[in-house]
């Protein structure tokens, strides 16, 4: 089986991206929308995988570490957990295809407590392209897991965003210099 590639669109939901999202990054995240759609189209057209790992929470979950740290966000079956903007339409139009799937995650890393590694291995995916939010939290933690599991990591700079510019810079530098990832400008 030939080596394959996958695009991971991480946490691009209303709560993290929309102006009135409960844990929003706002404008920097919204500025990624067109680039994310363009990449999704390109990957889909090239018969590559497009995967949407998406944070999910239960209301007031007393056992989840994030409950104490953040306002409630990305609760299942709420507007806040719906994909933001055109990505919602893109996913609706492509979700019946075997190469496209949305998946739950409950921690920052897309690999923790999920079957992502298993599904990537089944498909002989060796290289992951990361986009979405937040660069210094869920994207970074996913990149660290991917590094530890032996994947090649590429991050598309115009399609990732953080809460603060300093965090963005730190995360991209860390991915480049400590994880051997490639930053695509
Ligand atoms: Zn969360």
pLDDT higher than 90, residue 131: yes
The per-residue DSSP string of 78-97 comes to SGGGSBPHHHHHHHHHHTTS
- Residue 30 Cα to ligand 1 midpoint, Å, equals 19
Average pLDDT, the chain: 97
What is the Cα–Cα distance from 36 to 31, expressed in whole angstroms? 10
Burial of residue 106, with CB atoms counted within 10 A of its CB: 0-12 exposed, 13-18 middle, 19 or more buried? middle
User: What pLDDT digit, counting tens, does each position of 73-102 carry?
Assistant: 999 999 999 999 999 999 999 999 999 999
- Residue 155 Cα to ligand 1 midpoint, Å, equals 21
What is the mean pLDDT of the segment spanning 174-181? 98
136 DSSP assignment: I
- Residue 74 Cα to ligand 1 midpoint, Å, equals 7
- Residue 99 Cα to ligand 1 midpoint, Å, equals 25
What is the Cα–Cα distance from 29 to 135, expressed in whole angstroms? 10
User: What pLDDT digit, counting tens, does each position of 31-64 carry?
Assistant: 999 999 999 999 999 999 999 999 999 998 999 9
- Residue 64 Cα to ligand 1 midpoint, Å, equals 9
- Residue 45 Cα to ligand 1 midpoint, Å, equals 31
- Residue 81 Cα to ligand 1 midpoint, Å, equals 10
> What's the whole-model pTM score?
0.98
* HSE, side-chain direction, 13 A CA sphere, residue 141: 16
Non-local CB neighbours of 162 within 8 Å, separated by 6+ positions: 25, 28, 133, 134, 135, 136, 137, 168, 171
Predicted pLDDT of residue 166: 97
As given in the structure block, the two tokens for residue 9 are 């669109």
């Amino acid at each position: 089986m030939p080596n394959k590639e996958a695009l991971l669109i991480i946490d691009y939901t209303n709560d993290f991206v929309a102006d009135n999202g409960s844990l929003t990054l706002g404008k920097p995240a919204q500025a990624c929308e067109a680039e994310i759609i363009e990449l999704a189209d390109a990957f889909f057209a090239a018969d590559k995988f497009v995967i949407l790992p998406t944070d999910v929470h239960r209301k007031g979950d007393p056992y989840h570490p994030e409950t104490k740290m953040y306002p409630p966000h990305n609760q299942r079956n709420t507007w806040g957990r719906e994909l933001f903007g055109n990505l919602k339409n893109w996913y609706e139009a492509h979700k019946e295809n075997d190469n496209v799937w949305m998946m739950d995650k409950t921690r920052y890393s897309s690999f923790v407590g999920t079957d992502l590694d298993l599904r990537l291995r089944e498909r002989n995916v060796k290289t992951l392209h990361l986009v979405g939010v937040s660069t210094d939290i869920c994207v970074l933690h996913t990149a660290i897991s991917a590094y530890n599991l032996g994947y090649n990591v590429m991050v598309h700079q115009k399609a990732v965003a953080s809460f603060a510019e300093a965090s963005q810079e730190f995360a991209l530098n860390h991915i480049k210099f400590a994880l051997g990832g490639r930053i695509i400008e």
